[in-house]
Structure 1
């Protein structure tokens, strides 16, 4: 009896096992989008006490820190422990177009929402185009008269 061995069989079995394991997710998932004249960041922080959340801006770097406490029960025997605990941090580098003085933060239902307004100089604005009228001044006998020149004429 001849046994044929497949050199890739063990590799396939190993990859199959590895792919069934759940990959570790980022402990601080975030959505970031622009809405009108502001950017909005929504950061999932379930199970975090609001008083443990710290948001600060320094040198155009926005830092979010939060802590999810671990269970203190000593008689617990863990069967599965997938929810991360401890202190989490996330940093965003803010561009020159963000008004760092106007950043606002709100926490509700396990989601931290940051509102980052555009700086006034970065906001789109309409520039009015003024129509220049051609005028000529006529002086006669000490009196000054301003007349509009006909369209297309110049002095």
Structure 2
């Protein structure tokens, strides 16, 4: 059975122009991720399928969070590659952290090809009550982030 693929020739030309040969490791393009706030912490989920958990490195230095991982593809000698689309090499992503996170309490887990990093918000950045002195009766006013009080 023959299948017609109108893009096969275009793919072949593009690979040749980019200096890529079938069956060779290609550099990863990016590490897709989601980042959201959930209560008093941020959660970062990064897709790293097929990555050896021992190769993952999460570090914080001078307010920069760095995620790094290595993915290797087994080198099969004497095989004729039909398709080689999986990336191999080092993945890296860096994010600038603001002053409002507690960098000492960041933790990470790796499960089912997803790296999850929990970034807690620092106590100093959380809403708090402020005592007001003066007058006959002390009053407490609650500070609210993102809202103005009247």
Q: TM-score, normalised by structure 2?
A: 0.67
Alpha-carbon distance between aligned partners in 1 of 2:31 and 2:93, rounded to the nearest angstrom = 7
- Describe the shift of the 1:78–1:126 C-alpha distance in structure 2 as closer, same or farther (beyond 3 A): farther
Alpha-carbon distance between aligned partners in 2 of 1:41 and 1:126, rounded to the nearest angstrom = 30
**Structure 1: 4+ residue segments shifted above 6 A:** none
Gap regions ≥5 residues in structure 1: 1-16, 135-155
Following superposition of structure 1 onto structure 2, how do residues 2-151 of structure 1 map, counting pairs within 5 Å?
26-127=29-130, 132-133=135-136
Number of positions where the alignment pairs a residue of Structure 1 with one of Structure 2: 113
Q: Which has the higher contact order (CA 8 A, sep 6+)?
A: 2
Q: If you compute each CA radius of gyration, which structure gives the higher value, 1 or 2? A: 1
Gap regions ≥5 residues in structure 2: 1-9, 15-27, 138-150
What does residue 4 of structure 1 align with? none
Q: CA RMSD of the aligned region, Å?
A: 2.3
Deviation at 1:133, TM superposition (A): 2.8
